């Protein structure tokens, strides 16, 4: 469970007003006290992420969010953080409380979208996120014995009004928790990623040469995540991986009689590997495999083709999914800007890293994104769709470097 990277886990996010029981539902689903529970409003501030194994789905991440009705200046900041979670959500639970219908006798169940569901649900639906509605606190009773619809009746009305399935639960008695798990299993995507990294393109016994430079930017004592995942994908699909550093490329080719079935390299050395490798040997890179796995390879290809159309004064956004200390020769901070400027002198480059990303892309001509191994596919696709909606092309590091070196079609061919 702990070895599965967060980017490869199903992200289940819980949204709702303060005190509807989001944290209690996570605790009930997992059977653990993961999230802090209190009757005080605003207990959950920033989104809380917890990696878990939820059988039979497998490795998941539960995201507990602040109440969407939080108040004040701090409350507004909390709500903004909650809305940011939508981009990385694979499955959403939209939580209501039966208590709201008991306390407020004037509240009409037929106008329940006025609570918070309508706007939040619209954002989730527009992002193609599967949603389950949850009516929580269904063990409560009307204190003054005035007529109130049953939880099941209210859930049906909510389901009809919001057009999503609803489950009634009580985290106090655990009633309905099993049914909620069943609904989660039913709507969860069967394959989080667009496709495999490279396994779907291999035949049993295929000899794959992996070139993994170990320079100053490589993590000490280990391989980077895309290299590890690619290695495992090859093994899982019956391929035979052979790994070397650039200085051993010639020796490795000799061991393979000069005929590996595929060569996968670090994109930053495309220029060297392309010259050494016979043209009939298929070539691609780890970064391009991540583009295939996490995003839309064709859209990234179109974006890479726009590099040759850049003009002086055009603004380019270079985005990285993770933050790290910049070392000499950093790909995003030094190498890519230098290579791009040689093709088109006078372009303007702006760097973003981590969760930071512009809310307005109108000033940019192109976005060049890293392989995003630390993001899940939902977040990559959210950024890609945002670029498309903004009429801004987007590509990734590997495809951009391939286009700069004039080999884009060559490195795409093994993946088509």
- Domain check: are 385 and 237 in the same one? no
Q: What is the pLDDT of residue 323?
A: 67
Q: What is the pLDDT of residue 144?
A: 54
**From residue 353, how far is each of 302, 321, 379, 383 by CA, in Å?**
23, 6, 14, 13
Residue 360 has pLDDT above 80, yes or no: yes
Last residue of a domain, one of 267, 289, 311: 289
- Domain check: are 165 and 219 in the same one? no
What percent of the chain clears pLDDT 90, i.e. is strictly above it?
54
| Residue 209 and residue 252 in contact, taking contact as beta carbons nearer than 8 Å | yes
In a domain, 194, yes or no: no
Q: What is the pLDDT of residue 109?
A: 45
75, two tokens = 């409350």
- Domain check: are 118 and 20 in the same one? yes
Mean pLDDT of the chain: 85
Mean pLDDT (whole number) for 294-320? 95
390, two tokens = 């903004």
Q: How confident is the model at residue 373 (pLDDT cuts 50, 70, 90)?
A: confident
Condensed to tens digits (0 to 9), the pLDDT of residues 202-234 reads 999 999 999 997 665 666 667 888 999 999 999
Comparing 308 with 222, the larger pLDDT belongs to 308
Q: What is the pLDDT of residue 272?
A: 95
244, two tokens = 């070397």
What are residue 134's DSSP bridge partners? 95, 167
Within 13 Å, how many C-alpha atoms sit on residue 310's CB side? 33
135, two tokens = 């009516």
Closest CA to 319 of 350, 287, 290: 350
Condensed to tens digits (0 to 9), the pLDDT of residues 103-116 reads 555 545 444 444 55
Mean pLDDT (whole number) for 133-142? 87
- Domain check: are 221 and 366 in the same one? no
Q: What is the pLDDT of residue 160?
A: 85
Give me the helix-helix angle, 397-404 and 286-294, nearest 10°.
130
Q: What is the pLDDT of residue 408?
A: 97
Distance, in Å, from the CA atom of 375 to the CA atom of 372, rounded to the nearest integer, reads 5
- Domain check: are 177 and 63 in the same one? yes
In a domain, 246, yes or no: yes
Give me the helix-helix angle, 117-126 and 151-162, nearest 10°.
50
Q: What is the pLDDT of residue 189?
A: 81
Residue 32 has pLDDT above 60, yes or no: yes
Q: What is the pLDDT of residue 321?
A: 86
Tell me the CATH number at 26.
Answer: 3.40.50.300
In a domain, 264, yes or no: yes
72, two tokens = 């004040």
- Domain check: are 208 and 169 in the same one? no
Mean pLDDT (whole number) for 30-38? 60
What are residue 59's DSSP bridge partners? 53
Helices (H) and strands (E) in the chain, counts: 15, 14
Last residue of a domain, one of 187, 213, 232: 187
- Domain check: are 261 and 398 in the same one? no
Residue 406 has pLDDT above 80, yes or no: yes
Residue 264 has pLDDT above 60, yes or no: yes
Q: How confident is the model at residue 370 (pLDDT cuts 50, 70, 90)?
A: very high
- Domain check: are 166 and 91 in the same one? yes
Name the residue with tokens 């694979």.
90
288: Cα separation from own chain's centroid:
16
Q: What is the pLDDT of residue 116?
A: 57
Residue 43 has pLDDT above 90, yes or no: no
The boundaries of the domain holding residue 238 are 199-289
Structural domain total, the chain: 3
Mean pLDDT (whole number) for 93-98? 91
In a domain, 388, yes or no: yes
- Domain check: are 363 and 261 in the same one? no
Q: What is the pLDDT of residue 114?
A: 46
In a domain, 1, yes or no: no
Distance, in Å, from the CA atom of 325 to the CA atom of 336, rounded to the nearest integer, reads 17
Mean pLDDT (whole number) for 328-353? 91
Condensed to tens digits (0 to 9), the pLDDT of residues 147-202 reads 567 889 888 888 888 889 999 999 999 999 999 999 998 988 876 655 679 999 99
Q: What is the pLDDT of residue 327?
A: 60
Distance, in Å, from the CA atom of 240 to the CA atom of 72, rounded to the nearest integer, reads 59
- Domain check: are 164 and 251 in the same one? no
Give the 3-state secondary structure percentages of the chain, helix then strand then coil, rounded to 5. 40, 20, 40
Mean pLDDT (whole number) for 363-389? 93
- Domain check: are 153 and 249 in the same one? no
In a domain, 14, yes or no: yes
| Residue 82 and residue 47 in contact, taking contact as beta carbons nearer than 8 Å | yes
Distance, in Å, from the CA atom of 188 to the CA atom of 12, rounded to the nearest integer, reads 9
Q: What is the pLDDT of residue 325?
A: 56
Tell me the CATH number at 331.
Answer: 3.40.50.11410
Ranges 99-113, 241-255, 271-285: which has the least confidence: 99-113
What are residue 366's DSSP bridge partners? 316, 393
Pairing relationship of beta strands 58-64 and 48-54 according to DSSP bridges? antiparallel
In a domain, 193, yes or no: no
Comparing 133 with 150, the larger pLDDT belongs to 133
Q: How confident is the model at residue 95 (pLDDT cuts 50, 70, 90)?
A: very high
In a domain, 296, yes or no: no
Tell me the CATH number at 256.
Answer: 3.40.50.11420
- Domain check: are 215 and 179 in the same one? no
Q: What is the pLDDT of residue 6?
A: 80
């Amino acid at each position: 469970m702990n070895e599965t990277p967060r980017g490869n886990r199903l992200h289940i996010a819980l949204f709702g007003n303060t005190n509807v029981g989001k944290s209690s539902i996570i605790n009930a689903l997992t059977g653990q006290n993961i999230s802090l529970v209190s009757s005080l409003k605003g207990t959950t501030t920033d989104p809380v992420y917890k990696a878990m194994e939820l059988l039979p789905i497998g490795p998941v991440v539960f995201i507990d969010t602040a109440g969407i009705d939080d108040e004040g200046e701090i409350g507004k900041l909390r709500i903004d953080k909650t809305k940011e979670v939508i981009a990385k959500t694979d499955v959403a639970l939209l939580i209501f409380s039966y208590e709201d219908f008991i306390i407020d006798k004037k509240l009409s169940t037929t106008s329940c979208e006025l609570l918070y569901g309508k706007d939040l649900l619209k954002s989730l639906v527009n992002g193609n996120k599967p949603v389950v509605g949850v009516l929580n606190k269904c063990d409560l009773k009307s204190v003054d014995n005035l007529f109130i619809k049953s939880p099941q009746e209210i859930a049906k009305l909510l389901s009809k009004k919001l057009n999503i399935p609803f489950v009634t639960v009580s985290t106090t008695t655990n009633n309905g928790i099993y049914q909620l798990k069943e609904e989660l299993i039913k709507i969860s995507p069967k394959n989080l990623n667009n496709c495999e990294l490279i396994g779907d393109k291999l035949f049993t016994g295929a000899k794959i040469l992996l070139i993994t430079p170990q320079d100053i930017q490589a993590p000490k004592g280990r391989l980077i995540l895309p290299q590890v995942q690619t290695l495992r994908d090859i093994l899982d699909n019956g391929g035979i991986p052979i790994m070397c550093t650039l200085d051993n490329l010639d020796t490795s080719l000799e061991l393979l009689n000069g005929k590996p079935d595929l060569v996968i390299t670090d994109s930053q050395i495309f220029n060297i590997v392309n010259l050494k490798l016979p043209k009939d040997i298929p070539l691609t890179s780890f970064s391009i495999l991540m583009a295939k796995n996490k995003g839309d390879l064709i859209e990234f290809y179109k974006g890479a083709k726009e590099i040759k159309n850049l003009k002086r004064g055009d603004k380019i956004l270079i985005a990285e999914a993770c933050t790290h200390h910049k070392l000499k020769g950093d790909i995003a901070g030094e190498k890519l800007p230098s290579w791009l400027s040689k093709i088109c002198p006078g372009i303007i480059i702006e760097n973003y890293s981590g969760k930071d990303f512009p809310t307005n892309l109108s000033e940019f001509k192109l976005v060049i994104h890293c392989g995003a191994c630390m993001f899940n596919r939902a977040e990559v696709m959210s950024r890609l769709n945002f670029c498309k909606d903004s009429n801004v092309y987007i590509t990734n590091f590997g495809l951009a470097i391939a286009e700069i070196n004039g080999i884009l079609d060559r490195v795409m061919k093994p993946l088509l």
